[in-house]
Structure 1
Amino acid sequence: MPKRGGGRQRNWEHDHFEHDDRTHTNNTRRVSFKTGTNKGKNKFRTWKDPKLLLDDDIDMGSSGGQVHTQGRKGPFRGRGGRLNSPAPRSGHGLPKKKFVAGLLPWYQIIIPYGAKHEKDVVLRALLSFISPEVFIPHYYKINGNAAVFYVDDVKIAEKLFHADRKIVMSDGFKLVVIVRNSAPSVIIDAVMKEKMKQAMAKRYNAATKALDLTKFHTDPDLADVFCALFRPMIMLAVIDIIADNIPDLEALNLNDNKLHGIEHLKILSTKLKSLKILYLGDNRIPFVGSLDSLKSLPLVELFLKGNPLVNRFNDHEIYVSDVRKRFPKLTRLDGVDLPPAIGFDVSEDVTLPPRQQSFLVDPAGQDLVREFLTQYFAIYDSESRQPLLEAYHEHASMSMAANYLSNDNRNSPSARLNAYISNSRNIMRITERESRRRYLKTGRLQVVSFLSDLPKTTHDLMGFAVDLIVFTPNMIVLTMNGVYKETSTAGNPTRSFHRTFVVVPNTGGGFCVINDVLYVTNTTKEQEEKAFASGESITTPTPAQPLGAPVAAAPSGVTDDTRKMMLNMLGQQTGMNEFWSMNCLQETGWDFQRALFVFNQLQSEGKIPPEAFVK
């Protein structure tokens, strides 16, 4: 008894390659209860992933064709309304086949039973049908009874798709045309590399150190091999050949090679370090972000016209700006000179000034600064800070802010800043106006009282970084960074601080702090390792010589008029007579600011005799 369903199982590929265009009528129904093996939403995932499609390990020729039919949704109802009946055969209600463009730029054209005709006959028939369009058949060969070739244009592929069974050949049969989205297979061996090298050699201009690889796959020397640069493995092989033979290449033209993903081109920055001009026009680069893989190249000229990424910008200026962010040295884009970039006029080989532990706007203030810091922190680190009352102006003001380092472990007891956070005047945290006023200490009594309540400390004076940024007779501004240990806290934690003093002359002839800003935070690991490494402290500088010391000769660059002017100014500001003012200026080398500071220092110590003020 014959099997239910009768007839032989039709083989799709065999039927087309044997090329029988006659009409068969077979109304025998076949019912199958076999469970499908490819279920789920990822059944056709490989056709939606361009990276997988570009993987050379995937055989694109066996992954289904370009022929798509738009089936019905849900099970088919046959005659009589039964579910799951087989769909009717072609010509009995199925929608017309539609061409769907693939993700790859290459299409395989299969002419079943095309071997019975000469190559020229088949191509002339196809060209006549799609006229006036023309195409180049790549890698034409006979595979069994079929003729197979490739085209690299989606418009041509679509026209050939619609030529299926519409061309009548001389023997009366209709030409079957199958279109698949598939790229030719490729194996890069020594023979292929040699052909690539020969094709590249004739495209290289030694005078300009430029290599033109425009439409590289169409080169006559590569007619019998597939050498499309949009395949990563082929592009990387080309880069290796360039690096081995012309490593000093300065210009590379990759126009019209159907490039899409260019992530692998980041190797250019290591292989071709002299590359400054790159043409990528008329390709398929989708987004400007795709260029990030090339940011390491020191490009001065770039050509991107003809890529989808350019059309995504409605504003040309934004397009230029986005490209320039990635290539700051760019002077020419898409064949147009760019205006000079806004920046600092600094030569490329300029070196930064050497790092300094401290900065003094005027070297004459060095001794005064050292003396001030030594005396201030000697009192600050003592058992009682009350003597600091003499160091602050009557109307002095002070504020303190504290914060944790971003990478600090706040749960560590030694890292907690509880003694500071509660009094911190961080204006990012204290937003209420009255609170900000309350956290600001005004008047010497409030300032010293507040400082006395802070933990007892020992400062690493030798590790200070001090900047003297203002040094005038009427004001000194000091900033400093350093570390200290809390001597009254368990574990003696180390803290980092930044402090700014604004110092002005006081009525008694000395100096006092009128503004004090303190910032406290945790120390970094590096600061802890270097803290108190020397075990030394700043020594008190040698006192200045008495004003009655031998007179130094005036420098030759100081004129008589200048000396008279400085002499009058010093007498007016200090109250000394002309004789003592002259001695003071001569001993300081006619440095007016230093002479004034020396006077104030000695006056505060009571070392200037009363006769200096007798006129």
Structure 2
Amino acid sequence: MPKRGGGRPRNNWKGGEHFEHDDRMHNTGRRVMFKQSQNKGKNKFRNWNDAKLLFDDDVDMGASGQIQNRRGAFRGRGGRLGSPPPRPAHRRKFITGVLPWYQITIPYGAKCEKETLLNALSSFLSPDVFVAHYFKMEGNAAIFYVDDVKMAEKIFNADRKIMLPNGFKMILVVRNAVPRINITDDMKEKMKLAMAKRYNAATKALNLTKFHVDPELADIFCALFRPVIMLAAIDIIAENIPDLEALNLNDNKIHGLEHLKILAVKFKNLKILYMGDNRITSIAALEALKALPLVELYLKGNPLVNRFNDNEAYKSEIRRKFPKLMRLDDEDLPPPISFDIPDESTLPPVQQSFLVDPSGQELVKEFLKQYYAIYDSESRQALLEAYHETATFTLTTNYLSTDPRNTGSTSKLNTYMMYSRNLLRITEREPRRRHLKTGKLQVVSLLSDLPKTSHDLMGFAVDLVIFRPTMLVLTMNGVYKEIMTAGTPLRSFHRTFVIVPNSSGGFCILNDILFVTNVTKDQEEKAFASTVPIAAAPAPAPAPVPVLTSPLAPVAGTSQEDAQKNMMLNMLSQQTGMNEHWSINCLQETGWDYQRALFIFNQLQSEGKIPPEAFVK
């Protein structure tokens, strides 16, 4: 007598096999007998396996393609268990997957020939045409793949609607999946043969459009949207066509480009790239190709193109990533605006300091020693003589947003924030005016309120960008420590001085701009590495005037005009090497025009017309 549930379960079932059943009506002649149970009326069938009561049910298209179990058996008219369940009223829904490939499984398809199955499916789907990729038999099932979501949905809706010649209805299970990848030497050889037919040696161009449908690759999965396959293809191309100049990757369902950074490394001459009809969604993905020297690019058919309502904005964004681009999507672009500099040009070597005129080196050095000797002293009041009556000063501060070390208490810049004149943050006119200090009294008063410091003078990077008789512009950056602050924190600074002659025959600061922030890790490691600072001498007593002077400074009490003449005399003497007598003659003959005097000196010196006694001091 058969067990409850309609027969003995089969124990020899193997995964991937399908038993021989179909949708045709059969009269098996099986008799169903019911045996009296001792538990009358109480959970008579509680041990039944509900899955055995299923006759025909939906297929789960989410991922597995497995038959879903019902929660309980259907109770038909009269309350008898085992009555045929009705067809569900709702219609199965096709779920679009992330991957562009779909696996089609035909259970019991091994009973028919491949041509019989595909011809029956093609006739039903006509006039639509599909390509069955990588057809094979696994157990009792026939399996193939399609690479089009619309076609996969039509095949999904054709389930149990196609009658085969043997009277069976074709069952079609569709799920989102790609074939298994196993890159072997044999696969690489087939890829190489397919590429050889697609390569144009005359133009050094390789056309890999729809590479996976190439006849040479009919029996293997070779879709270039899979990174492992794309990288294998790139290796083959680099080995056999290292001087490749044009590559066509159209219609390969490519979506990710991060692994294509290697193109710029493997192919230095690649200038033409076609990536049309793929699945590139954002312009940011093109960052991986930015290093390529592209002059032509094709992107039509990608979702990123549809993100731009303005075609000019689209061209501008692409041109920004590829400045040398001359052609985009089969349209010529206007010539790029660029400087006529060779690609192989090299930058000058890095130097810590720059002097527009070497003769100003000693002046700058002396000024820094005098100024910072007072600035780092106990009192900064002596700096009053270093600033012009109408001098201006601005302080700006900000944190290094990318440095995680700015969270500690010693990293706080609150002392400087209250004086900061950051124009990006202070937009009102009155606060901007209030934070601009005008006049040497206001300037030195603010400097005195700032924390006491000790500067690393040997670590300064100094630039003398303007050196003229009437004005000097001096910039510097470096580090200092706050000697009276808890933790003795290090700070980084950048400072610009605009210096002009003063009435006493020296120079004074007309404009002072100071920027303060936290030190970088590299600055922190190198700070105060030298034990011999420039200003090693103790700070001078009471109030030495930090006047920027030269060896031939004029005496006090001279007029402004005389002061400027003395300054020009000193500068010309230092720059040319001539003694004072010859320098005065040169300036007098040119009407005290410094630039003209220097020009005449250089001209006469090149002609050998200046006697040796002019250089005797």
* TM-score scaled by length of structure 2: 0.68
User: What is the alpha-carbon distance in structure 2 between the residues aligned to residue 574 and residue 269 of structure 1?
Assistant: 61
Q: Helix, strand or coil for the counterpart of 1:211?
A: strand
Q: Could you tell me which of 254, 259, 269 is aligned with 1:259?
A: 254
Question: 2:156, 2:243 → 1: CA distance?
Answer: 46
Instruction: Return closer, same or farther for 1:290/1:211 CA change in 2, 3 Å cut-off.
Output: same
- Find the residue that maps to 2:236 and give its secondary structure: helix
Q: For residue 16 of structure 1, report the CA deviation from its aligned partner.
A: 6.2
Taking the aligned partners of 2:150 and 2:174, their CA distance within structure 1 comes to 13
Partner of 1:278: 273
Whether contact under 8 Å (2:281, 2:304) holds in the other structure is yes
Distance 1:517 1:86, change over 3 A: farther
- Decide whether aligned partners of structure 1 residues 525 and 32 sit closer, same or farther in structure 2, where only a CA change above 3 A counts: same
State the Cα distance separating 1:131 from its structure 2 match. Answer: 2.7
> What is the identity, as a one-letter code, of the residue corresponding to 1:178?
L
- Counterparts of 1:455 and 1:15 in 2: how far apart (Å)? 84
Q: Is this contact kept in 2: 1:486–1:494, CA < 8 A?
A: yes
Out of 216, 223, 244, the residue aligned to residue 218 of structure 2 is 223
- For the residues of structure 1 that align with 2:492 and 2:61, how far apart are their CA atoms? 58
1:299-349 deviation digits (Å, cap 9, x = unpaired): 333322223333343333343344444444433332223333455554322
Output the CA distance in 1 between the equivalents of 2:429 and 2:7.
94
Task: Confirm or deny: 8 A CA contact 2:159 2:173 kept in the other structure.
Answer: no
**How many angstroms apart in 2 are the aligned matches of 1:249 and 1:180?**
40
8 Å contact 2:257–2:285 — kept in the other structure? yes
Q: Does 1:584 align with 2:581?
A: no
The 1:351/1:8 distance shift into structure 2, 3 A limit, reads: same
Cross-structure match for 2:609 = none
Q: Which residue of 1 aligns with 2:342?
A: 347
Question: Mapping of 1:413-424 within 5 angstroms?
Answer: none
Q: Cα distance, 1:427 vs. partner?
A: 6.2
Shift of 1:192: 2.7
Whether the 8 Å CA contact 1:456–1:488 is kept in 2: the answer is yes
Which of 492, 512, 517 is the aligned partner of 1:516?
512
The one-letter code of the counterpart of 1:533 is S
Q: 5 Å matches for 1:480-499?
A: 480-484=476-480, 496-499=492-495
On the 8 A contact 1:210/1:251 being kept in 2, the answer is yes
Task: Check 1:75–1:471 CA distance in 2 against 1; reply closer, same or farther (3 A cut).
Answer: farther
Match of residue 551, structure 2, among 543, 549, 552: 543
Deviations 1:58-104 (A, max 9, x none): xxxxx326xx99x99x989855799x9889536x4544555544444
The percentage of aligned residue pairs carrying the same residue is 58
Q: What pairs with 1:216-365 in structure 2 (closer than 5 Å)? A: 216-361=211-356, 365=360
1:237 Cα deviation from its structure 2 partner: 2.9
Q: After TM superposition, give the deviation of residue 116 of structure 1 in Å.
A: 5.5
Q: Does 1:194 align with 2:189?
A: yes
Deviation at residue 350 of structure 1 after TM alignment: 2.6
* Separation (CA, whole Å) in 2 of partners of 1:455 and 1:273: 55
Letter in 2 for 1:531: F
1:478 aligns with 2:465: no
Structure 2 vs 1, CA of residues 7 and 277 (structure 1 numbering), >3 Å: closer, same or farther?
A: same
CA contact (8 A) 2:271 2:296 kept: yes
Query: Structure 1 residue 137: deviation in Å?
Result: 3.6
Judging changes above 3 Å, is the alpha-carbon distance between structure 1 residues 495 and 316 closer, same or farther for their aligned structure 2 residues?
A: closer
Q: Deviations over 1:568-608 (max 9, x none)?
A: x98897699xxx998625379967448999xxxxxxxxxxx
> What corresponds to 1:22 in structure 2?
25
Whole-angstrom distance in 2 between the partners of 1:416 and 1:98? 60
Identify the residue that residue 533 of structure 1 maps to in structure 2: 530
Say whether the 8 Å CA contact 1:17–1:112 is kept in structure 2. Answer: no
> How far apart, CA to CA, are the structure 1 residues paired with 2:484 and 2:143?
90
**Which secondary structure does the structure 2 equivalent of 1:202 belong to?**
helix
DSSP-derived class of the 1:309 partner: helix
In the alignment, residue 495 of structure 2 is paired with which amino acid?
R
Alignment check: 8 A CA contact 1:402 1:420 kept: yes
Counterpart-to-counterpart distance in 1, 2:27 and 2:146: 33
CA separation of 1:360 and 1:159: change in aligned 2, threshold 3 A: closer
- Where in structure 2 are the equivalents of 1:91-110 lying within 5 Å? 92=87, 94-110=89-105
Determine if the alignment matches structure 1 residue 465 to structure 2 residue 461. yes
Separation of aligned partners in 1, 2:221 and 2:436: 78
Distance 2:347 2:390 in 1: 42
Q: 1:447 to 1:234 in 2, by over 3 A?
A: closer
Residue 170 of structure 2 corresponds to 176
Residue by residue, what CA displacement relative to the aligned partner does 1:352-389 show, whole Å, maximum 9, x if unpaired?
33334444455565555445445444555566655544
SS in 1 for 2:189: helix
Using the TM superposition, name which of 20-29 and 490-499 deviates more.
20-29
Q: 2:76·2:82 contact (CA, 8 Å) conserved in 1?
A: no
CA distance in 2, matches of 1:185, 1:495: 59
Aligned amino acid, residue 5 of structure 2: G
TM-score, structure 1 normalization: 0.69
Distance in 1, Cα, partners of 2:310 & 2:140? 55
CA distance in structure 1 between the aligned counterparts of 2:503 and 2:115, rounded to whole angstroms: 110
2:65 equivalent in structure 1: 64
Evaluate the alpha carbon distance shift between residue 445 and residue 64 of structure 1 in structure 2; reply closer, same or farther with a 3 A threshold.
closer
Residue identity matched to 2:244: L
Map residues 366-445 of structure 1 onto 2, 5 A cutoff. Answer: 366=361, 368-378=363-373, 380=375, 387-401=382-396, 407=403, 411=408, 441-445=437-441
Q: How many residues align?
A: 544
Alpha-carbon separation, structure 1, partners of 2:413 and 2:256? 52
Name the CA distance, whole Å, in 1 between partners of 2:484 and 2:106.
93
Contact 1:397 1:514 in 2 (8 A): yes
For 1:96 and 1:575, the matched residues in 2 are separated by: 101
1: CA distance between counterparts of 2:106 and 2:454? 92
Distance 1:146 1:435 in 2: 80
Checking the alignment, whether the CA contact within 8 Å between 1:303 and 1:335 is kept in structure 2 is yes
Q: What residue identity is the alignment partner of 1:513?
A: I
**Partners of 1:157 and 1:179 within 8 A in 2:** no
